[in-house]
Structure 1
């Protein structure tokens, strides 16, 4: 073994022995045993001391090497290191630097040396910040974008080892207690001054000293105002109570707020919270907040604030919806089919029984109107929606799909005809929505209509026409437009926003008009919706219905429109094939579009035919889906022929008596 000067410092060891010592300390984490011994003698936090030794920054750095380095700069001699290794039971490491001439230890002398060494460590290691955040970045002001990381670094030395705490302005950042700060900038509020406080704390918890790093100012690139929280869209408030509306926005620089009531600026209301005391009818209306900074501005959604009125109940809620798009002698329309289906499905969501029919003749329209009117008895809410061609001459007229090219008023159904039928039995609430043009017929192409003497339809109501709403997609002598590249027409696009909302019906149509008015573009400025009302009660389309047995007329109507998907067995005897056929609605909620599908029949071609030729084609075949759909199947149409072929050669056929499985309503209106 090599003989060493016992008073020599660790740094005087030969390089090969020094490396051997480092490797031995790192093996099986023996360095932690020695480090814990030193911490115990010094009476400071063992955890912090070990953690500081583990913070290696270079690839060739290690805890064992850092431990020897820390002991060396504290003037630790070879003899003191031998003694500490011996006390820790690290004999294998001690053997590396043992002196063969020394067989025993004089422990009193050694303990004096260790005490002197520890005294030197404490005295010579005051707290000191050696790297400030601004030094690594070489600037005291940092500009950063949203979504990026803010990465700051601070380094201190001292015994006991330093502890760290990062601050934003004067607020300590939670869970940021290492020498590095790494956070994501996702709010304008994160701009400001950042600093690091460094502490020396003894093992018994006594604070020895504190230092604060140099401050770095973080700026955030300007960002536009983004609304994070909208005021609630609908708020009902009882009389004399208070209400609060809130919004929240994020931006940099910080956003400013200004509240409005029905486009009137509310003086002094410049926070993100609006509080109104002692609510009354004068406070009803639409509230919104204007939010802005130096770079952008936005408006929140409108909050409709209304008086909370008593809730009503209906005996039943029923709707008749007709969409006419495929005209025989007039331009076909693409939106009515989607518009009517959308409105029908929304009404079903809020408890309406819906009769939804597509492309009806004038005879079919009159039949179903008469049928529907019989169910509009006292206590019933009724709604009628029509989408298709129409015109106005003194009153509004709806055109059926078989209307002649040169039509007269008697070839259409007028609004007074509807009212005469629907008001006969005094429903509790009646809403008529006409999604049609309100223009005059062309004198050039249809002069005879101007010489016609119109039929006057007299309608009476025991309730003097109370609780009636007549709504129109456009006003008198104005067109109603379909929208290019849009699934729905302009009126239904906005009507669908409110028709299933829990708001009074008058508010519903007010909101539709305001919604359309706020987004006018181009020729749509010619379409100005309107409605007339004689409502005397706070009706809502969402009102509940009584659970007791409905009137006989409602029960009968429900029987007529009842339908459920059916699966039947069919046999192709010639081909000796038995399979299943499914009969369902082709497009919800239309009751007169019936789909027939053979999903399990493979490796054959399927064709569908009417056994009796229809005057107007009503069967549409989809070969690749092995299905067809039939519009308005009638009793006198006869059964549907289903033919199967293989490689173009017929191999079998069967008859499907579809009339047995269609809604009973179709049998009534087509009889």
Structure 2
């Protein structure tokens, strides 16, 4: 079959989607030689004329997420029977030679894609890729970037397979001068005992079989917990760990690890293994943890008296705020990643966590008020902030995203006022972790008259930088932490006194050549007890305050339940929801049933409230990354359309939108549309109405405080606590993130990114090193392992640092 004959036998809709999209982009950008001119040619020299309604549908495509009238026109042409050769002839008439060359290189069609699987070492494994093309196709297998020896056929056979064969495989199909790549296939190989192998020998390849079960463990406070589960199957099994039947958000790999366990980690654990076809649960195992002096990392840290008299919290709550998208100031990037990772770590320490991104001044004040409602006598309260900030006359200010340029104290939140309100709650521990600049604001000469704080021995400040200095984040393509969080996350789970833990972070930061001499952690504390973030929770009964606190926290976690809609045509659409932050929600839709007489079926969501200011161009996308959601993409179900709703705190009314279905019956030219209205109430933080301009006045705009019990800066030792001296306190930030246990875990192959590094600090002294988040995929398009402990977001540093 010649190339021309093959193009004549290939329907336009059978042309690979990337090629069709490139041709469509060419037509969209060509003006008088674009899709309208192509439609005219169809009416003059084509077999079928487009109806006025079809042309109108093409025009309206610019308002939808795809945004391509040409792509819709090409699909209509395919449905009317036009072939790739017909399109070539039309493009030649229009003078689009680039489009002609694209189509003539589409002679390869991969009909069988290799599939991902998990197997045991010693088995026989076969990866298959089958393609058709003229005159003959050739195969070339690769493991990541390296060619596989003897991998030059449609089947890649590994017999026997070894553990070192684990990884990602892809097949390149060559035909003359053109080529196509297959999908990536992940091979996960585990070595088990002969008995384990024998138990799975009779299992079918496409069935899940758990061959490594987790084991019960008896540990001592401070030990490391490691639970392991491994299953074979095809498609590749995924993992989700549960504790006491509650989903562990950070437990979505084969190994579940807690570096430093406490009594709060006791419980019954199991692992759920699943793929697209089935799911199985591992055996339940019990993890018990004893308090014993032998758990010590040194006699000075964990004596017998320490264990017997260890402080306890009546509860633990945390507010995390990350401000990035400033209206009148330089944009930041790292706060999103920092808040997300801080949330996952604090959850492992049994904190009730609320996380918020990009808050205005009223929203920040109201969020702090809600945080104060969660505090009570003996509660551990933690406030984490990442964003722009400054410090004047010993008072620290957090800058909302709507602050004017220049901003002053009247536009910002004073940290010391928040501390005063926290003290009034008689909290057991007040921790402030502030990732912001502390340079003086030359536009703000206000001198505040302060009221003295109570002298209490329960305050710890961890400043990302010293007084008068800047804090930085790294600018790179991809996701990255700020400098402070880069080192803090490595130690946050340690079972050590909070000041000792921060001393370790300060030492780690001091070893970083990028920030040496520019940014150093500063610690201020009035702590006189060995209180740690790992301290156990011991509630004295079920008080009214505790019930109120739990109810308030639960309100910020409420997600709509998954729902299914059946339309008149018989198609069924599933609608699901997931929380990325307390004020960011992902909606995913997919078609779960389609009648056989329907040849075209599309589902999407639209008509969102104007409060959310949603761009239709980034809704109903094929991947979460296309919507701006980079952090939970691997935890969402696959093969859906995704829509990301941010700034949920701005919702004034219940969230109502439309679920639409567009479909076409076989043999009919017209498409039919149906829609259903959905009201899911107020999800997540929208329940708390923090966007109200004059909701409460609890969070003072300024603070009245002349003296602070936290004046001394620790010099890296915790042998003796600093003497209380009448100095002003500094504070610079807080974060807050909400976790929802109904967030589903799912598979997905993230793509590697190219990184480039630079550093900046803005002229106002409020800048941070800023990473550039890129949604493009690298030229090699190599996936990253996502079934084991290799998915951590790691910041990379460059040897070249450029300051502006």
Query: Taking structure 2 as the reference length, what is the TM-score of the superposition?
Result: 0.42
**More strand per residue:** 1
TM-score (norm 1): 0.49
Higher relative contact order (CA 8 A, sep 6+): 2
Whichever of the two has the greater Rg, that structure is 1
